[in-house]
Structures are given as C-alpha cells and as structure tokens.
C-alpha cells in the first residue's frame, strides 16, 4: 500500500522521523539477485495532488479487482507464491501438526433465553462451529443450526444471532466467503425449520427482538451494485423494524439521518421490553450518541438521551427508568453511571462505580449485582459490586489470562464465562452468583503439556519514555543467546486491547522452538481512552515507535537477533508491520503483513474505510496528510532497499480492507527490493478479512505462515507429528 514515489522533502522528513540507532547484530541483506521472477506489473502515469504535493500511484489499476489485468496478475502472483512455499521441507509436517493441535472440542459461553440454553460447539476440525440448545444443563444438547451444511467448503459462516425472549425463535445472520455483507433468516427453535423471512444488505448490525417476539430491529444499507459491492463506499445506514411474516420491502424505517451519511445505528431492546435503545456511531471512534424510544407507546418518538459524540456509552441494563451505562466521560479508564430518564441532565447522573487505576472493559447486571471486568496491565480481573457500587467479591481466575461472558438477566442467579491464556485452552466456567462459586462447565483436551511453557510480562521503554508492556511466551528454559526464532505480534489501534489467548497456531510455533511475543501498543485500549488517543492521527507514529522499541528490547536482551526476528499483524496490525519494515528494515529477518491497510492516502475511498479516519485522520486534511504520508507503508518503500523476507496476505472477498492495499504494496515492494530476500503475496480465494474463516483455510494459512518463517529465519526444527507431549 505504499509507493516509492514521494518528493525528496517528504522522504527526508520520513528518514528523520525514523532515525533510531540500529541495534548490534542488525541483519544484512541477502546477497545476489532475487531467486524469484515476479510477474510484470505495468506502471501507469497516475499522479495525485495532495495540498500541493504530487504523489505518484503507478499501480492504481490494481484497485479494480474485477478487471482482467488484475485477475491475471493475481493468478501469476499466486503461482509464484505457491511454487516458493511448496519447496519448504517443513511445510507438510507443520500442516499435519496443526491439524492435530486444532482437533479438540471447543465451546462458546452459553447464554439463556426463555428457559433454554444456547451455545456453539466445534468437535475439532469442523469448518464452522455448530449451534446447540438444551432446556437444562443436564440435558443432551440438541443441534439447532449447523453452518457446515450451508456450503460444502465451509465458507458460509454464522455471523450473529439473537433469540426471542420466549426462546422460541432464532434470528441468525450469515456471511459468505468472509464478506461483511450479511443475510438474516429466522428459525423456529422447536422444529429447527426456517420461516420465510429473509433480510438482505445487512452490515455492521445488531438484531434486537421486541418482547412479544413478533419482530426485530436491525440496521442495513441500500442495495449496492452487484459488480462493485465488495468495494463501494458504505454510507447512510438505516435502522428498521421487521415484522415476522412480511417481506423486507414492508419493513418500517425506525430511524435514519439523511443529513449525516456517516452515522451508523445499533439497536438494543431492554429486558423489560419497555424501551428501544439506539446507539449512534460515527466512524470507528468510541464516541456515541444515545437515543431511546418508549415501545409501550406505539406513537412515541425517538428521543435523544446523550446528544453529542464526546464519549463512549455502553448500555448495561435498566431498572425502570434508571439506565446504567459504562462510560469514559470524564473518566478515561471508564466508570459506571446511572441516568434517570425523568431527569437525564448530566448534572443528575450518579456515579455507581468510579474510575479506578485499572481499565473497565465491560459490565453486566446479574442477580441484581454488577459484574465488572477490568484490565490490569492487559490481564483480566473480575469484581462483583451491588447496585450502589459496594464491593461484594472478586471472582478468582486461574492465572494470567483473559475472560469474556458474564451475561444474563437481572434476576438470574447464574452466569457463565470463558477463561483463556497463552498456554491455557479456552475453558468455560459456571458461576453461582449467590455463593460466588465458580465451577468448570466445559474444559477442552488439547494434546500438549502446559507445564512445558511459560508466560512472562516485560515492560519496555518507547522512544518518548513511555512504558509499554509485552507478553513473552516460550518453552521453559529459554536460552538468552540471541538465537531464538521470535514472532513479534501487534495491533495498536481502534481502542482494541491485545490480551492473552490460546491458539493452536501459536502452540505449534513454540513447538518449533519459536518465541511468541505480543506487544501492548498505544492506540489500543489496554490503559483506557488516553492510551488509545496517544496512538491516533498525528500521534500514530507512537504506535510504530512502541513496536520498534519492543523489537529492540528483544534483540538487546538476547531473546533473539534481527536475522531471527519476524513481525506479524493483521488489518491495522498489517499497517503496523508495513510501517515497521519500511522504517527499520534492518531490524527484522521476516515480515508478514496480513490484510493490511497499506495505502494511507486512499483507504477512505473504499467500503467502510472512511470510518477509520477517526483513528488515522484523512489525506483530505493538509496536516493529517503530512502525518499519513510519512508512515504510509506503500509510500515509504524505496527502490534499492534491502527489505526483510516478506509474505503479504490478503483475500479476494475482503470488503473490510480491500485487497488493492496489499496488491499495490506487493507490486511496489517487489520492484524496489534489493538482494535476495523474497517478497511474495498470498491471495486467498472465497475468503475475506478473517471473520468466519473455515478451520481448513485457517490451518492452510498458518502452515504457510510458519513454513515461510521456517525458511526465512533458517529454522531447522519442525513440530512433532503425533508425538507432542500429552
């Protein structure tokens, strides 16, 4: 996504911004010409003027994914990539071991509606998890929906679901080939058969049933053009009500803003059925407006409750006219407030749980108590308080890890949660809310010995002195001699926190002798909104500095060395990898930017890309253009530079970060690369940004990733097949 065609002044400014001293042992460029012959990518005379600065974009034609030229280039690139990967001796044994490790039973956190429990289960290698229901925890689960029957190759995924309050109807959305476009259908829970209802052109939507089960609220866009539906910009989302048994054309428009093309809407109905709550968003910023509608009065209007985009507000529950929200309003690490609809002015808000030193992640109301989840240096902590904020207890967790769940109704006396860590497969717990006792509900059996591995947390110092944490996971007894192949992963954006989690892919990497590292960069949500804002717009370089600082620590402390250090990340993390490898190419032995945002000057022109300007800024703004062009991966590739061995990944149905980002970056990097390090691009088919990807495709992609690194980092060890520790 970058192009090596910046004016000299901007290139000089970029070089100054990236001027770190190289650590000892910096990798050297592989000598000689590239062993690969790359497909010819023509250059066109496309030059854009950004506030007086001319920027060339010679591979603009690759933005048209439907053109014959682009398709021919994609086919040729995939042939080069697969030919190179097929010559890796460890690739097949890696794939076999991944298949073994992936083959374990996995459960989602159960939830309850209308006296029935609902949860998903994957028996191991199923492409998609299967939805089950049961009327008690002792019952034999009954299959309700198997997405694997919707497509022979597993490329249709369950994207979302909502069960009616009586537990009799399931509204479920599906996504095909990884696209963000969803379709909603309704299934009778008793018979397992679908009704005639069919909703299309849904994207980024919740589904909220009315209490009577006669219909639901959802959000959608106008129907796009079929030929360009994976690339066209998405504006003017609308909130509708669908009455069961009627065609979509008869759906009632509940709320839209024809004067605000960027506003999106999420719907929630309160458990008492009284209110519809509408959360209005603008882009990806965690700053919302809140509206409500009294459903007990058919002619009631949508009424503003919070009518500005100044803070985040996440609805927890209501007790009558009193609404509980978590918010970062005047509290960057969040607090819980109670707002009475009869006197909603901010001066009348009551703080129930004040801001603490730890970051509030989520809260739910169960057993008339608030269950609050916090992050303490990116580790989960869970506390229970009463509705006045008085502490009740802390829910004990089994180690360093992450939790999710704790759903339920205000009157429920039980709840469920999942716990996972880097070496702890996701385990489901049931909590008795009266006693506070947690018991294991479902525990997976993965064929490895967790005692063979260790997780430690290390704080590094970024360029400006900021302390940045990272998790280092490896086999026990790690030798600090600089010889360890290391995979450094990061994200650093959109207020998203990187917390511990189990992955059979990462376990296979550690079996190969690799070290897995996750850096908690600014731009994320680990330390609240101020941490997030410190990695956005004109401050985005902080994210890359944090990542580079983590890499330097790993080298300077002899965990690894540049020739053994690989970096990876997806989406915004792909941008991170692209920026790091262009700013410090000598620091890394390999790079894997996955589905990355690489053209920071044009990202807002495709699908939902405009929404990211809240984090990135926009090239249409002169000051933000100057910041963007300094780090935009596409625009900071330079001819004759030795870049690390690189495997770029994308997919043909990615309509979140369109594949043109990766296409243009790959074509430019291949043209600019000096020496023998390969620059290849892996372009998946019938796949998207990542959500809902079939298990088979996940295994294939990871096998190629670790196979690529085994060759690029000169690793001899492969994971043992059918011989891992029990």
**Domain ends where: 248, 269, 290?**
269
Residue 78 sits in a domain whose CATH number is 3.40.50.1820
Which residues make Cβ contacts (< 8 Å) with residue 247, sequence separation at least 6? Answer: none
Q: Which residues does residue 593 pair with via DSSP β-bridges, in sequence order? A: 569
Q: What are the CA-CA distances from residue 448 to residues 38, 365, 452, 513, 514 (Å)?
A: 41, 37, 8, 15, 16
Same domain? 79 vs 150: no
Residue 129 domain-assigned?
yes
Residue 291: half-sphere exposure toward Cβ, Cα within 13 Å: 19
Residue of 620, 584, 612 lying closest to 596 (CA atoms): 612
User: How many residues would you count in the chain?
Assistant: 726
**Domain ends where: 269, 303, 319?**
269
pLDDT for residue 701? 95
Residue 422 domain-assigned?
no
Domain, as residue range, for 498: 8-18+38-97+449-712
Same domain? 60 vs 81: yes
Q: Which two tokens stand for residue 723?
A: 């011989």
Q: Dmax over Cα atoms in the chain, in whole Å?
A: 76
Pair 648, 35: CB distance under 8 Å: no
Pair 417, 405: CB distance under 8 Å: yes
Same domain? 602 vs 511: yes
Q: Which two tokens stand for residue 573?
A: 């993390």
User: In this structure, is the dihedral angle defined by the CA atoms of residues 721, 425, 474 and 707, taken in order, positive or negative?
Assistant: positive
Same domain? 664 vs 697: yes
Counted domains in the chain: 2
Residue 210 domain-assigned?
yes
In the block, which residue shows the tokens 């009631």? 300
Burial class from Cβ neighbours inside 10 Å (0-12, 13-18, 19+) for residue 31 reads exposed
What b/e readout covers 114-151, taking b as 16+ CB neighbours within 10 angstroms?
A: eebbbbbbbeeebbbbbbbbbeeeeeebeebbebbeeb
Spell out the alpha helix ranges (H) of 520-678: 529-533, 541-556, 572-583, 613-616, 622-631, 660-672
Which residues make Cβ contacts (< 8 Å) with residue 435, sequence separation at least 6? Answer: none
Same domain? 91 vs 212: no
Catalytic residue among 57, 545, 615, 654: 654
Same domain? 66 vs 128: no
Same domain? 640 vs 669: yes
Alpha-carbon span 517 to 546, nearest angstrom: 13
Pair 396, 435: CB distance under 8 Å: no
pLDDT for residue 718? 63
Alpha-carbon span 669 to 680, nearest angstrom: 9
Other Cβ atoms less than 10 A from the Cβ of 649: the count is 27
Same domain? 183 vs 201: yes
Catalytic residue among 3, 286, 635, 689: 689
Residue 523 domain-assigned?
yes
Residue of 714, 559, 577, 543 lying closest to 648 (CA atoms): 577
- Residue 286 annotated among the catalytic residues of the structure: no
- Residue 3 annotated among the catalytic residues of the structure: no
Same domain? 491 vs 560: yes
Same domain? 88 vs 162: no
Which residues make Cβ contacts (< 8 Å) with residue 558, sequence separation at least 6? Answer: 480, 481, 482
Alpha-carbon span 261 to 100, nearest angstrom: 48
In the block, which residue shows the tokens 């000169």? 714
- Rg of the chain over Cα atoms, rounded to whole angstroms, equals 25
Name the DSSP letter for residue 187.
Answer: E
Residue 688 domain-assigned?
yes
580 SS3 class: helix
Catalytic residue among 177, 571, 662, 710: 571
Which residues make Cβ contacts (< 8 Å) with residue 1, sequence separation at least 6? Answer: 575, 578, 596, 597, 598, 599, 600, 603, 632, 633, 634, 661, 662, 664, 665
**Ordered mean pLDDT values, 10 residues apiece, the chain (726 residues):** 32 32 51 76 97 98 94 95 94 96 97 97 95 96 96 90 97 90 97 97 95 97 88 92 98 97 96 97 94 94 97 97 97 98 97 98 98 97 97 94 97 98 97 96 94 96 98 95 97 97 97 97 97 98 98 98 98 98 98 97 94 96 98 98 97 84 97 94 78 88 97 81 40
222 SS3 class: coil
Same domain? 634 vs 511: yes
Q: What are the CA-CA distances from residue 549 to residues 105, 300, 385, 598, 643 (Å)?
A: 38, 55, 39, 21, 19
Residue 395 domain-assigned?
no
Residue 412 domain-assigned?
no
Alpha-carbon span 596 to 568, nearest angstrom: 10
Q: Which two tokens stand for residue 175?
A: 């996504």
pLDDT for residue 23? 45
Alpha-carbon span 515 to 473, nearest angstrom: 6
In the block, which residue shows the tokens 């959802």? 218
pLDDT for residue 5? 32
pLDDT for residue 720? 59
Residue 215 sits in a domain whose CATH number is 2.130.10.120
586 SS3 class: helix
Q: Which two tokens stand for residue 293?
A: 């509608």
pLDDT for residue 184? 97
Q: Return the ∠ at Cα 711 (arms to 710 and 717), rounded to 5°.
A: 40
**Domain ends where: 269, 299, 331?**
269
Residue 223 domain-assigned?
yes
- Strands, sheet with 565-570, edge to edge from the N-terminal-most edge strand: 453-461, 467-475, 515-519, 486-489, 565-570, 590-594, 645-651, 679-684
Q: Which two tokens stand for residue 370?
A: 């608030």
Same domain? 247 vs 117: yes
């Amino acid at each position: 996504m970058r192009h090596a065609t910046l004016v000299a002044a901007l290139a000089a400014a970029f070089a100054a911004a990236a001027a770190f001293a190289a650590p000892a042992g910096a990798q050297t460029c592989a000598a000689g010409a590239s062993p690969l012959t790359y497909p010819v990518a023509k250059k066109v005379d496309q030059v854009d003027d950004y506030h007086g600065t001319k920027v060339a974009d010679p591979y603009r034609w690759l933005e048209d994914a439907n053109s014959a030229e682009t398709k021919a280039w994609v086919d040729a690139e995939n042939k080069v990539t697969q030919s190179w990967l097929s010559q890796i001796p460890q690739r097949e044994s890696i794939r076999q071991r991944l298949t073994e490790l992936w083959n374990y039973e996995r459960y989602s956190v159960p939830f309850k509606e209308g006296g029935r429990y609902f949860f998903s289960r994957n028996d191991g290698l199923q492409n998609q998890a299967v939805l089950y229901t049961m009327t008690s925890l002792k019952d034999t689960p009954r299959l309700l929906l198997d997405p694997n029957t919707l497509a022979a190759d597993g490329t249709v995924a369950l994207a979302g679901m909502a069960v009616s309050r009586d537990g009799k109807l399931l509204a479920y959305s599906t996504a095909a080939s990884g696209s963000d476009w969803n379709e909603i259908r309704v299934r009778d829970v008793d018979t397992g058969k679908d009704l005639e209802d069919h909703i299309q052109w849904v994207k980024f939507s919740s589904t909220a049933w009315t209490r009577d089960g006669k219909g639901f609220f959802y959000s959608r866009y106008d129907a796009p053009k079929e030929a360009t539906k994976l690339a066209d910009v998405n504006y003017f989302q609308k909130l509708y009500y669908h009455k069961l048994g009627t065609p979509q054309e008869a759906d009632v428009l509940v709320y839209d803003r024809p004067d605000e093309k960027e506003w999106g809407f999420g719907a929630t109905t309160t458990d008492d059925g009284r209110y519809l709550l509408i959360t209005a968003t603008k882009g990806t910023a965690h700053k919302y407006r809140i509206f409500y509608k009294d459903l007990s009065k058919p002619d009631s209007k949508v009424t503003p409750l919070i009518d500005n985009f100044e803070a985040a507000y996440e609805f927890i529950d209501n007790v009558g006219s009193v609404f509980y929200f978590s918010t970062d309003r005047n509290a960057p690490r969040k607090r819980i407030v109670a707002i009475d609809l009869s006197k909603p002015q901010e001066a009348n808000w009551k703080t129930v749980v004040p801001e603490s030193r730890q970051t509030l992640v989520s809260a739910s109301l169960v057993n008339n108590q608030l269950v609050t989840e916090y992050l303490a240096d990116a580790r989960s902590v869970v506390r229970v308080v009463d509705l006045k904020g008085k502490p009740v207890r802390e829910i004990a967790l089994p180690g360093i890890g992450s939790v999710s769940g704790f759903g339920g109704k205000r009157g429920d006396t039980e709840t469920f949660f999942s716990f996972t860590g880097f070496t702890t497969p996701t385990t489901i717990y049931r909590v008795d809310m009266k006693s506070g006792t947690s018991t294991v509900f479902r525990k997976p059996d993965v064929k490895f010995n967790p005692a063979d591995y260790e997780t430690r947390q290390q704080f590094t110092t970024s360029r400006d002195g900021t302390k940045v944490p990272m998790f280092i996971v490896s086999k026990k007894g790690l030798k600090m001699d600089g010889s360890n192949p290391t995979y450094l992963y990061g994200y650093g954006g959109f207020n998203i926190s990187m917390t511990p989690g189990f992955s059979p892919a990462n376990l296979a990497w550690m079996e190969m002798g690799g070290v897995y590292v996750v850096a908690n960069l600014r731009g994320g949500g680990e330390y609240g909104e101020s941490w997030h804002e410190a990695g956005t717009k004109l401050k985005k370089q902080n994210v890359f500095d944090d990542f580079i600082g983590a890499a330097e620590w790993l080298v300077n402390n002899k965990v690894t060395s540049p020739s053994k250090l690989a970096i990876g990340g997806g989406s915004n993390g792909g941008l991170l990898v692209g920026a790091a490898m262009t700013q410090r190419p000598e620091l890394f032995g390999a790079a894997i930017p996955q589905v990355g945002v690489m053209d920071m000057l044009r990202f807002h022109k495709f699908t939902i890309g405009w929404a990211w300007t809240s984090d990135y800024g926009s090239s249409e703004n002169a000051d933000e253009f100057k910041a963007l062009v300094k780090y935009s991966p596409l625009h900071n590739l330079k001819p004759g530079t030795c870049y690390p061995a690189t495997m770029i990944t994308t997919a043909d149905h990615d309509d979140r970060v369109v594949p043109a980002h990766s296409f243009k970056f790959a074509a430019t990097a291949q043209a600019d690369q000096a020496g023998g390090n390969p620059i290849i691009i892996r372009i998946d088919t019938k796949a998207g940004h990542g959500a809902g990807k079939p298990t088979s495709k996940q295994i294939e992609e990871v096998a190629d990733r670790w196979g690529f690194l085994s060759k690029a980092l000169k690793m001899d060890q492969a994971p043992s097949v059918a011989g891992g520790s029990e």
